[in-house]
Structure 1
Amino acid sequence: MTFIIRGQSLHIDIRGELEKFDWTRPTWSNDKLIAASPFRYDKSPSFFVRLEDYGDYPAGTWSDSGSYDDEWSSGNIVKLLAFLRHETYEEVEEYLLASYGFTTDSTDIKLKPIRLKVQWVRQPLKDGLLADYRQDYSYLESRGISAEIQRQAGVLYDAKSQAVVIPWRLPNGELANVKYRKTRGKVFWYERGAVPIRELVYGLELATAQTVICEAEIDAMSWRQAGYSAIATGGASFNEWKADEIKRSAVEELIIATDNDKAGEKLRAEIEKSMRGRVRLRNAYIDARESNGGSLKDANEALVKYGEESLRESVRLSESVRELYVKLRSSSLGK
């Protein structure tokens, strides 16, 4: 499908982009994806994305029939990908331009986009940005995270948008970004014009020699509730920016505790690949005592259902990741 982004015409593979993510109860057809809403705790297929143009509605537009507010009842592909990728609207535009942009007048020649990595020098945010928010720990307390742990993390509450305010800081403690998470549903967004989450590791300013690494900030706070130092990637992807930040930190041993889903296993593999040889690594797996034979999705779900001891048990049962010598076993010299 062809889209105009920042004045450029892009042919975006909508289905290919959406297939990168896990969906609940998805039904794919030639012109539509129907699934449970990614914005709510929803188990019914009440959300759809158009994969083809339909009348006045272009491909990539979506609708959520059970949305809690008008802002998240419908939108375009950029807004949806921003949510799924844990990025701002502008960052997704940059991603799409880098992935699909090309300039040519010929119908016979298609040029792959030249990918240029440009690292902008962004200034830290002012802590005064948080002055309009107040202390209200009730939402995360209902999810097993004490007021003490929330104060340590600098958690606040935005009464106007009814969202928990979670600061992201640089390793030196300066404010780098802010995540706003609605207390109803799963909707979240980040501060515009801030350091991108892809360049940050949540909680690294509090990390110690042995630290748990997980996906979400609330999971990191859940591990802290159980007595561990914990950091978060902010999503199901890992890169050299994050690896370098951890390498320069106090961390000597990483306990990898990603979500129990396809994206979580992908993230676990990415962390292992990037951090092997840089720090000691262990794999911890979230409690899997569900009566239906399934497993809990993440650390916070385990904390709420089975308490802090279930997370401690996961660490006690964690397995060391074998180091570089493992590669020798696949060579002609090993067995």
Structure 2
Amino acid sequence: MPILKIGGVEADVDIREELEQFPWHRPRWASDKLIAASPFRYDNTPSFFVNLDGEYAGTWADSGAYDADYESGNFVKLLAFLRDETYEETAEYLLSTYGINSVNAGDDLRLPKLQLPKQRKPVVLAETTLKPYTYEHPYLHNRGISDKVQRFMGVGYCPQANAITIPWRYADGKLANVKYRKVQGKAFWYRKGAEPVRHLVYGIDKVYRHGLSDVYICEAEIDVMSVYAAGFPAIAIGGASISDKQIELIRKSPIERAIIATDNDKAGEKVKRQLIDALKSAVELRELMWGDSEVKDVNEALVAGNVETIRKTQPVDYAFTFSFR
């Protein structure tokens, strides 16, 4: 496997294995490169590539990028986008998964002195953070999400960034983070210095405020809003992985029954198994019946007018559960 330097630390990362967890449009896989339509925008031509091996392993470029920030970059940045995480969260995932590159005999190894982690205070953002974003944009309405649902979830719009704004809140309703999602293309980012989303569950404040015992569990915020648009409450973990903190938040909540509605792809299947393994002893679980459906997620089903796909559920299959932790 190629060696990547992540935060000054070298790790052997299986780049291809990580990328194969996600759907690609018109992909061409070679031993040293993936060429495909860009994941950052709506693209029907293979104008994006990732180096899978060699000196530039993990680097990528998009020849038709809308935004200079997404013309090229390293592997952590790409995977953070695909996993719907911050850069720091993805770097932490890669280092914990692949570890530190092996050292040579004779290297002077001095282990750092063990220190207990300091108790950190959660970051609480002022409600005035959202004041500049009290604008509307048709982007989500065009994706089947009603104005009523958008208002319920506090969606706004940032004209300067040309991005919708999606607040993330703690269980008590206090503002913890804000996601910015470009209305052109698929680029997104989170507010700098805010609470990491791996410490949060999107929509958990609604669970407490309205005493919700039955919810769908999705990956992304737009999927949560899609489920609400279909008439059911939902929460999201913010990407294709779940943290111990998020598991704890769900376990402690009023949720008694949950329908797993992760994406209809390899990454979605993986996080579904994580959810089943983590929650099977705490809540009653069901899952969406994707069957042979070709839709990627619940928002795609909503846009296609196939709300019945969101409503069709079945008991989870516990036979293949295993621990990722």
TM-score by length of 1: 0.82
Report percent identity of matched pairs: 48
Asked if structure 2 preserves the Cα contact closer than 8 Å seen for 1:102 and 1:110, the reply is no
Q: Distance in 2 between matches of 1:23 and 1:263?
A: 12
Matches within 5 A, 1:249-288: 249-286=253-290
**Are 1:35 and 2:36 matched, yes or no?**
yes
Partner of 1:189: 189
Aligned to 2:154: 154
Task: Measure the CA separation in 1 of the matches of 2:269 and 2:16.
Answer: 22
**The residue matched to 1:213 in structure 2 has which SS?**
strand
Specify whether residues 109 and 15 from structure 1 end up closer, same or farther in structure 2 by C-alpha distance, changes over 3 A only. farther
Name the CA distance, whole Å, in 2 between partners of 1:148 and 1:154. Answer: 10
Question: Deviation at 1:218?
Answer: 0.8
> Is residue 221 of structure 2 the alignment partner of residue 217 of structure 1?
yes
Alignment of 1:64-143 (within 5 A): 64-98=62-96, 99-101=98-100, 104=103, 106=105, 120-143=120-143
Q: 1:235 & 1:117 partners in 2: Cα distance?
A: 29
Task: Please identify the structure whose Cα radius of gyration is greater.
Answer: 1
Q: Cα offset for 1:63?
A: 0.7
Q: Does structure 2 retain, via aligned residues, the 8 Å contact 1:137–1:147? A: no
In 1: Cα distance, 2:264 partner to 2:95 partner: 32
Partner Cα distance (1:121, 1:103) in 2: 35
User: In the alignment, does 2:314 pair up with 1:319?
Assistant: yes
Give the conservation status (yes or no) of the 8 Å contact 1:37–1:45: yes
Which whole-Å deviations, capped at 9, do the CAs of 1:120-144 have from their partners, x for residues lacking one? 5432222222222122041111111
Q: Is contact 2:80–2:86 with CA below 8 Å preserved after alignment?
A: yes
Letter in structure 1 aligned against 2:69: E
Looking at structure 2, the residues matched to 51 and 34 of structure 1 have their Cα atoms a distance apart, in angstroms, of 10
Aligned to 1:333: none
Displacement, 1:97?
A: 4.2
> How far did residue 110 of structure 1 move?
10
Unmatched 5+ stretches in structure 1: 328-335
RMSD: 3.2
Residues 254-283 of structure 1, C-alpha deviations (whole Å, 9 max, x = no match): 012222222222222221221112111122
Cα distance, 1:252 vs structure 2: 0.9
- 1:46 is aligned with what amino acid? S
Partner residue, 1:246: 250
Higher relative contact order (CA 8 A, sep 6+): 2
Partner of 1:206: 206
CA pair 34-273 structure 1, distance change in 2 beyond 3 A:
same
Cα offsets for 1:8-32 (capped at 9, x unmatched): 4445443344344333332222321
Q: How far apart are residue 199 of structure 1 and its match?
A: 2.1
Deviation at residue 210 of structure 1 after TM alignment: 0.9
Query: Hey, what's the Cα distance between the residues in 2 that align with 1:66 and 1:225?
Result: 33
For residue 303 of structure 1, what is the aligned residue in structure 2?
Answer: 302
**Aligned partners of 2:232 and 2:262: how far apart in 1?**
15
Judged with a 3 Å threshold, the aligned counterparts in structure 2 of structure 1 residues 21 and 117 are, in CA distance, closer, same or farther, namely farther
Report the AA paired with residue 241 of structure 1: K
Distance 2:7 2:78 in 1: 18
Which residue does 1:46 correspond to in 2?
47
SS at match of 2:31: coil
Aligned CA distance change for structure 1 residues 45 and 273 (closer, same or farther; 3 Å): same
Does the C-alpha gap of structure 1 residues 191 and 255 become closer, same or farther in structure 2, counting only changes over 3 Å? same
Quick one: structure 1 residues 186 and 285, their matched pair in 2 at CA, closer, same or farther if it must change by over 3 Å?
A: farther
Counterparts of 1:11 and 1:128, CA distance in 2: 44
| 2: CA distance, partners of 1:191 / 1:219 | 20
Query: 1:39 is aligned with what amino acid?
Result: F
Query: Could you tell me how far 1:294 is from its partner in structure 2?
Result: 4.6
Inter-partner Cα distance in structure 2 for 1:5 and 1:265: 27
What is the aligned residue count? 313
